[in-house]
Structure 1
Amino acid sequence: MNVTFIGLGIMGGRMARNLLDNPAVSLTVFNRSPEPMAALESAGATRATSYAQAVEQADIVFTMLPSPEVVETVAFAEDGFVAAMPQGALWVDCSTVNPSFSRDAAQRAQASGLRFVDAPVAGTKQPAEDGTLTFLVGGEARELETLEPLLESMGRKTLHVGAVGQGSAFKMLVNAQLAQSMLVYAETALLGEKLGFSKDFLMDMLPNLPVSAPFLAGKAELIREGDYEAQFPLEWMHKDLHLLEQTAHEADQPLYLASLAKSLYGSAKQAGRGRDDFSAIHAFLGRE
Structure 2
Amino acid sequence: MNVTFIGLGIMGQNMARNLLPHCTLTVFNRSPQPVEALAADGATAATSLTDAVADADVVFTMLAKPEVVAAQAFGEEGFLQAMPNDSLWVDCSTVNPSFSREAAQVAKASGIRFLDAPVAGTRKPAEDGTLTFLVGGAEADLNQARPLLEQMGSKIVHTGNHGQGSAFKMLINAQLAQSMAVFAETTLLGEKLGFSREMLMDTLPNLPVSAPFLTGKAELIRHGQFEPQFPLELMLKDLHLLEKTAYEHRQPLFMSSVAKALYASADAAGHGRDDFSALHAFLESHNQS
Q: Please give the range of the TM-score, normalised by the shorter of the 2 chains.
A: over 0.9
Question: In structure 2, what is the Cα distance between the partners aligned to 1:286 and 1:122?
Answer: 28
Question: In structure 2, what is the Cα distance between the partners aligned to 1:218 and 1:73?
Answer: 35
* Aligned match of 1:188: 186
- Alignment of 1:105 onto 2:110: no
Q: Which runs of at least 4 in structure 1 moved beyond 2 Å after TM superposition?
A: none
TM-score, length basis structure 2: 0.98
Question: In structure 2, what is the Cα distance between the partners aligned to 1:84 and 1:149?
Answer: 24
Question: In structure 2, what is the Cα distance between the partners aligned to 1:21 and 1:225?
Answer: 36
Residue 227 (structure 1) shift: 1.4
Deviations 1:93-142 (A, max 9, x none): 00000000000010010000000000000000111011000000001111
Could you tell me which amino acid in structure 2 is paired with residue 160 of structure 1? H
Residue 144 (structure 1) shift: 1.1
Could you tell me which amino acid in structure 1 is paired with residue 13 of structure 2? G
TM-score, length basis structure 1: 0.99
* Aligned match of 1:227: 225
CA contact (8 A) 1:134 1:157 kept: yes
Question: In structure 2, what is the Cα distance between the partners aligned to 1:45 and 1:129?
Answer: 17
- Alignment of 1:281 onto 2:279: yes
Percent identical: 70
* Aligned match of 1:151: 149
Helix, strand or coil for the counterpart of 1:180? helix
Could you tell me which amino acid in structure 2 is paired with residue 212 of structure 1? S
Question: In structure 1, what is the Cα distance between the partners aligned to 2:195 and 2:37?
Answer: 46
Could you tell me which amino acid in structure 1 is paired with residue 153 of structure 2? G
Question: In structure 2, what is the Cα distance between the partners aligned to 1:49 and 1:72?
Answer: 19
Could you tell me which amino acid in structure 2 is paired with residue 14 of structure 1? N
* Aligned match of 1:211: 209
Question: In structure 2, what is the Cα distance between the partners aligned to 1:50 and 1:104?
Answer: 24
* Aligned match of 1:84: 82
Question: In structure 1, what is the Cα distance between the partners aligned to 2:20 and 2:213?
Answer: 28
Question: In structure 2, what is the Cα distance between the partners aligned to 1:199 and 1:120?
Answer: 35
Question: In structure 2, what is the Cα distance between the partners aligned to 1:78 and 1:191?
Answer: 55
Deviations 1:39-93 (A, max 9, x none): 0001110000000000000000000000000001000133110110010000000
CA contact (8 A) 1:61 1:92 kept: yes
Residue 21 (structure 1) shift: 2.4
Helix, strand or coil for the counterpart of 1:286? helix
Question: In structure 2, what is the Cα distance between the partners aligned to 1:130 and 1:231?
Answer: 13
- Alignment of 1:129 onto 2:127: yes
For these two proteins, the number of residue pairs brought into alignment is 286
User: Which of 49, 52, 56 is the matching residue for 1:51?
Assistant: 49
Could you tell me which amino acid in structure 1 is paired with residue 236 of structure 2? H
* Aligned match of 1:7: 7
Question: In structure 2, what is the Cα distance between the partners aligned to 1:144 and 1:29?
Answer: 21
Helix, strand or coil for the counterpart of 2:250? coil
Structure 2 stretches lacking a partner, 5+ long: none
CA contact (8 A) 1:21 1:153 kept: no
Question: In structure 1, what is the Cα distance between the partners aligned to 2:28 and 2:229?
Answer: 22
Question: In structure 2, what is the Cα distance between the partners aligned to 1:281 and 1:21?
Answer: 38
Residue 157 (structure 1) shift: 0.4
Question: In structure 1, what is the Cα distance between the partners aligned to 2:58 and 2:21?
Answer: 17
Could you tell me which amino acid in structure 1 is paired with residue 240 of structure 2? H
Helix, strand or coil for the counterpart of 1:106? helix
Helix, strand or coil for the counterpart of 1:207? helix
* Aligned match of 2:200: 202
Helix, strand or coil for the counterpart of 1:152? helix
Question: In structure 2, what is the Cα distance between the partners aligned to 1:53 and 1:21?
Answer: 22
Question: In structure 1, what is the Cα distance between the partners aligned to 2:215 and 2:69?
Answer: 33
Helix, strand or coil for the counterpart of 2:73? helix
Could you tell me which amino acid in structure 2 is paired with residue 257 of structure 1? M
Deviations 1:253-285 (A, max 9, x none): 000000110010000000000000000000000
Could you tell me which amino acid in structure 2 is paired with residue 17 of structure 1? R
